[in-house]
């Protein structure tokens, strides 16, 4: 463990946490509308997985995508402006919370049809193999996508053609308000689904950013070397509701259950590890809180100060012109 590394991972998770807490406030103030699906509690997966990638590798996500986008290095101001629907947003206000895209950072988007982006990930991987590039594609999705036909079709193609793709299943135990055990035949071992297609699969503690990063580091090299796809089931828990319309524990789980999982908050776990290993002190965390707080405040200011898109933007980018 390296002090710089672990403090960076903590900072990334803290940025996502504070950014999303601020997003929830902005939603309450109606500056953000539509659906807003928060990633709070799951930060260790995006941060740990993306820390194992090169800057030219591809990442793609579903509708709970703020964390992946920020972990990939997107500017928080441009992300917040997108949530505000402003012209300076990552997608000029045309994507919104569920469709963040940052192509220069190889963040290929958030997609809002469950299971529908998994074939896209196999296509990105197909392209890099076709182009004889040594890139990997990482595809994030919830366990709720596992029973979908498109997930199975994509897993089969990826295995059949040994595509350089890593499927990261963020198992937060609930697909909206339906627990995995009421939706998935193999809920006790979701990774078995991938193994049935001959894909190497393993389960990791998705609350432990170092465990996620280390598991990813190991498999990224295998996948980059052409050994075919890998499936990682990261066990996690979302501390908030499915979306802003859904209270934190909803009707489908108890407050006690949520509180139990909050004891394994990925930020607390890493902080404890850092302190236990003398890689940082309270002063470092106070400093990080200040820096991240300032960055999020600046992001909101940028989004607030930005203009809405001009009416003419309605008609641009329907088709690529050249």
Whose tokens are 């596992």? That residue is 146
2 binds another protein (CB under 8 A): no
- The window from 18-26, 124-132, 206-214, 225-233 that contacts another protein (CB under 8 A) reads 124-132
> Does residue 124 touch another protein according to CB under 8 A?
yes
Question: Which of 111, 237, 285, 302 contacts another protein by CB under 8 A?
Answer: 111
10 Å CB burial of residue 299 (0-12, 13-18, 19+) is buried
Q: Using the rule CB under 8 A, is 316 a contact of another protein?
A: yes
Taking the complex as a whole, the smallest distance from the CB of residue 124 to another protein amounts, in Å, to 5
Neighbour-count burial for 153-180, b at 16+ CB within 10 Å, e otherwise: ebbebbbeeebbbbbbbbbbbbbeeeeb
- Distance, CA of 224 to CA of 4 (rounded, Å): 26
Q: What's the min distance (Å) between Cβ of 119 and another protein?
A: 2
228 binds another protein (CB under 8 A): no
* Residues counted in the chain: 322
Half-sphere exposure of 134 (CA within 13 A, CB side): 8
Closest CB 155 distance from another protein, rounded Å:
9
In the complex, the smallest distance separating the C-beta of residue 81 from another protein, rounded to whole angstroms, is: 11
Does 118 bind another protein (CB under 8 A)? Our answer is yes
The least CB distance from residue 157 to another protein, in Å, is 6
From residue 122, give the alpha-carbon distance in Å to each of 109, 156, 157, 202: 14, 10, 8, 19
**Nearest one of 116, 110, 1 to 61, comparing CA atoms:** 110
Binding mask 192-221 for another protein (x = CB under 8 A): ------------------------------
Q: Give CA–CA dist 234/39, Å, rounded.
A: 14
Closer to another protein at the Cβ: 151 or 209? 151
Which residue, 250 or 309, has its beta carbon nearer to another protein? 309
Give the C-alpha separation, 73 to 67, whole Å: 10
Is 108 among the residues that bind another protein (CB under 8 A)? yes
CA neighbours within 13 Å on the CB side: how many for 22? 25
**Position among 2, 4, 130, 310 found at the interface with another protein (CB under 8 A):** 130
Hey, what are 204's tokens? 């990791």
Q: Which is nearer to another protein, 59 or 274 (CB)?
A: 59
Under rule CB under 8 A, residue 308 binds another protein:
no
* Residue 312 engages another protein in binding (rule: CB under 8 A): no
Site for another protein in 44-63 (CB under 8 A): 58
Q: Hey, what's the torsion of the CAs at 25, 26, 27, 31, to 10 degrees?
A: 160
For residues 140 to 169, the per-residue mask of contacts with another protein, x marking binding by CB under 8 A and - elsewhere, is ---------xx--xx-xx--x---------
Indicate whether 303 belongs to the interface with another protein (CB under 8 A): no
Interaction residues for another protein, span 77-96 (CB under 8 A):
89-95
CA distances from 316 to 105, 260, 310, 320 (A): 23, 48, 11, 9
Binding footprint of another protein on the chain (CB under 8 A): 58, 89-95, 99, 101-103, 108-109, 111, 113, 116-128, 130-131, 149-150, 153-154, 156-157, 160, 316-320, 322
């Amino acid at each position: 463990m390296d002090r710089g590394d672990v403090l960076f991972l903590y900072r990334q998770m803290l940025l996502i946490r504070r950014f999303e807490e601020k997003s929830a406030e902005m939603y309450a103030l109606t500056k953000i509308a539509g659906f807003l699906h928060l990633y709070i509690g799951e930060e260790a997966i995006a941060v740990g997985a993306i820390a194992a990638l090169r800057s030219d590798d591809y990442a793609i996500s579903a509708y709970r995508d703020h964390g992946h986008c920020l972990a990939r290095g997107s500017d928080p101001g441009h992300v917040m402006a997108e949530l505000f629907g402003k012209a300076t947003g990552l997608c000029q206000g045309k994507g919104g919370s569920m469709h963040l895209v940052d192509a220069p950072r190889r963040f290929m988007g958030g997609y809002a049809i469950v299971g529908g982006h998994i074939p896209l990930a196999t296509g990105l991987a197909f392209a890099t193999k076709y182009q004889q590039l040594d890139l990997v594609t990482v595809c994030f999705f919830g366990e709720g996508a596992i029973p979908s036909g498109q997930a199975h079709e994509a897993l089969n193609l990826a295995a059949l053609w040994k595509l350089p793709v890593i499927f990261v299943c963020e198992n937060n135990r609930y697909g909206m308000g339906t627990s995995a055990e009421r939706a998935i035949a193999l809920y006790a071992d979701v990774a078995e689904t991938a193994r049935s297609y001959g894909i190497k699969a393993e389960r990791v503690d998705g609350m432990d950013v170092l465990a996620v990063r280390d598991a990813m580091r190991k498999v990224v090299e295998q996948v980059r070397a052409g050994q075919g796809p890998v499936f990682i089931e990261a066990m996690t828990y979302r501390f908030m509701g499915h979306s802003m319309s859904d209270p934190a524990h909803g009707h489908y789980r108890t407050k006690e259950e949520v509180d139990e999982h909050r004891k394994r908050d990925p930020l607390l776990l890493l902080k404890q590890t850092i302190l236990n290993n003398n890689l940082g002190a309270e002063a470092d965390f106070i400093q990080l809180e200040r820096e991240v707080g300032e960055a999020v405040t600046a992001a909101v200011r940028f989004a607030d100060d930005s203009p809405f898109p001009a009416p003419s933007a309605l008609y641009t980018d329907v088709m690529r012109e050249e």
